[in-house]
Amino acid sequence: MMVSIFNTTILVCLFLTMFFGGRHLKSGVSGSRIVVVPTKVTVEITNRLTNRYLAVHCKDKNNDLGVHQIGVGQTYSFSFTPNFVFPSTLYFCDFTWLEGFHYFDIYVQHRDQYCNKFKCSWDIVATGPCKTSDPSRNCFSWNKHAVAKRLLVQQNNNTLPV
């Protein structure tokens, strides 16, 4: 009986510590944060194209965030809580402007985790998205199959008789 009360007390203390005793712990290795309870992440997408509006359409497997038009230098953002138990959250976006249509996985949980203080900032340039984290900037290529898909659509979308 005494052991069961002790075990129950330990479990209750752990539960209370997890949910009410601070939201994160410092890691001794690199100073990065280890998340104890699920925390919202915000993705910020900034249009860095030269003199072009940018249409952004982001979604994950359950949520379509709709199409948003971003002016030059303006930012669109959205927030979500990554999957805490099975880290598999993925958000992907289509980026469209006058001279381009591209696709990119804007948030991949195993790549981005909780970013920089729970904010993932991206600059969109014509050559690809760049993840920004003061003072660094890491640029990526557009997803390849979107380029191939666009070419396939263009080839198969000819409705004019030859």
Contact (CB, 8 A) for 104 and 93:
yes
Give domain status of residue 7, yes or no. yes
pTM of the model: 0.68
- Dist CA 57 CA 122 (whole Å): 14
The answer to the question of residue 42 being in a domain is yes
Q: Which domain holds residue 136?
A: 38-155
What phi, psi does 161 have (nearest 5°)?
Answer: -65, 145
Q: What is the pLDDT of residue 70?
A: 97
27 and 44 share one domain: no
Low-confidence ranges of the chain (pLDDT < 50): 13-14, 16-32, 158-162
